[in-house]
Amino acid sequence: MARDPDAPRPPRAATAGRAPRATAPAGVVTLQQVAERAGVSPSTVSRIINGTAIVAEAKKQAVADAIEALGFVPNPVARGLAGGRTLSIGVVTQVIDSPFYGGALRGIEDVLQLAGYSPLFVSGHWTTTDEARCIEMLRARRVDGLILLDGRISDSAVKALARQLPVVVTGRQIKAPGLFSLAFDNLRGARLATEHLLALGHRRIAFIGGDPQHPDAVAREQGWRDAMASAGVPVDEALREHGGYIEEGGLRAMERLLDSGHAFSAVFAANDQMAYGAALALHRRGLQVPQHISLVGFDDVATSQYTLPPLSSVRQPVVELGRRSAEAVLDLIAGRKPTAELSAPEMVARESSAALPG
């Protein structure tokens, strides 16, 4: 199929002679050739490259020279087949261009690259079917480990997976052999946000939640409730809305809040994107942030620093999440016990929240 098999064979490059099956992209050096040039056996070359066994210093040098001279690069595909390790890690994210998880991908990429591994990024689209398909694909490609960034897959399915290969999963706390989990402290973060508003004197604090299907969405709502309860401030159920974690949802939720007629002086949105939508809704109604209504988001996405006004938010260590996840799979692969921990969420007060007037 590649490059029209029926066509007359294109004249091979100058280095004709042997005409193999068109595998090697012409000019590719094999370990075999290195061995010949260095005057040793292929096994020895392999051993030197992988540090699998002790070899004589002289041969080591000869092989190093040959590798250098020939510009040899090991073929990961062949390595994968022969050795069973592909030096690749499957990463199941939900949306490849998520403004939030993007940082995690960066963290993963950094750590893996330094370790000589490559991430294989795939998107689960928050659906079990897509996730399952992705995971199957990754297993077929023989990844050495798996990082699951949140997702809808069940705990038991994750555990089953971990029996087959090292797995790191975020967004939940489960324990099983071959498995490591890592989660943000959403409860604490949401408490932080609410306490920030309470400290500013607000009492009637509305909450715009995410998709209740997400475990973090319920944790964030619980954090809001906990903080209110700790402060002895009753929660008005009419002040709880859902925005599905997207801008438009935040906008609609805010409109419903405004239309409900229930008074409030502050809003805590369970993510920054909903906060953006909420801010726009307020703006459309002629209400100013924070003069009329204080607004706090969650996640502290990159652009929140530059919104009008700059958005107060709860910072999640998301790049760190990526780094730790990658370190953890590497640990699992090496047979070490991962010990990664995430730093705590942090309240970043900017200009969208202010003291309750009066």
Partner DNA sequence: TTGTATGCGTTATCAA
Partner DNA sequence: TTGATAACGCATACAA
Note the residues at the interface with its own copies (CB under 8 A). Answer: 1-4, 7, 21-27, 73-78, 80-81, 83-86, 95-97, 99, 102-103, 105-106, 109, 118-123, 136-137, 139-142, 144, 164-165, 247, 251, 273, 276-277, 279-280, 283, 302-303, 305-310, 333-335
Binding of residue 66 to DNA (CB under 7 A): no
**For DNA, which residue of 4, 11, 15, 21 counts as binding (CB under 7 A)?**
21
Count H helices, E strands: the chain? 12, 11
- In the complex, least distance from residue 351 CB atom to its own copies, rounded to whole angstroms: 9
Q: Which does 288 bind (CB under 5 to 8 A by kind): DNA, its own copies, none?
A: none
**87, 334 contact by CB (below 8 A):** no
**For DNA, which residue of 74, 99, 201, 309 counts as binding (CB under 7 A)?**
74
- In the complex, least distance from residue 39 CB atom to its own copies, rounded to whole angstroms: 25
Closest by CA to 203, choosing from 241, 255, 256, 239, is 239
Contacts of residue 130, defined as CB under 8 A and 6 or more positions apart, other chains included, come to 123, 124
Q: Which is nearer to DNA, 61 or 288 (CB)?
A: 61
Q: Which is nearer to its own copies, 99 or 201 (CB)?
A: 99
Q: Which does 160 bind (CB under 5 to 8 A by kind): DNA, its own copies, none?
A: none
Only one residue has tokens 């002040």, namely 239
Q: Which does 44 bind (CB under 5 to 8 A by kind): its own copies, DNA, none?
A: DNA
Name the region of 271 (left: φ>0; alpha: ψ -120 to 50; beta: rest). Answer: beta
Residues 322 and 182: their CA atoms lie apart, in Å, by: 10
Contacts of residue 4, defined as CB under 8 A and 6 or more positions apart, other chains included, come to none
Q: Which does 229 bind (CB under 5 to 8 A by kind): its own copies, DNA, none?
A: none
Between β-strands 205-209 and 240-242, what pairing exists: parallel, antiparallel or unpaired?
parallel
Would you give the binding string for DNA spanning residues 25-54, x where CB under 7 A is met? ---x-xxx------xxxxxxxxx-xx-xxx
Residues 232 and 328: their CA atoms lie apart, in Å, by: 41
Q: How many residues comprise the chain?
A: 358
**350, 308 contact by CB (below 8 A):** no
End-to-end CA distance of the chain, in Å? 75
Q: Which does 169 bind (CB under 5 to 8 A by kind): its own copies, DNA, none?
A: none
- In the complex, least distance from residue 46 CB atom to DNA, rounded to whole angstroms: 3
Q: Which is nearer to its own copies, 32 or 164 (CB)?
A: 164
Strand order in the sheet with 88-93: 118-123, 88-93, 145-148, 167-170, 179-182
**For DNA, which residue of 75, 98, 123, 222 counts as binding (CB under 7 A)?**
75
Q: What is the CA radius of gyration of the chain?
A: 27
How many other CB atoms are there within 10 angstroms of residue 183's CB atom?
17
Binding site for DNA (CB under 7 A): 18, 20-24, 28, 30-32, 39-47, 49-50, 52-56, 58-59, 72, 74-75, 78-79, 81-84
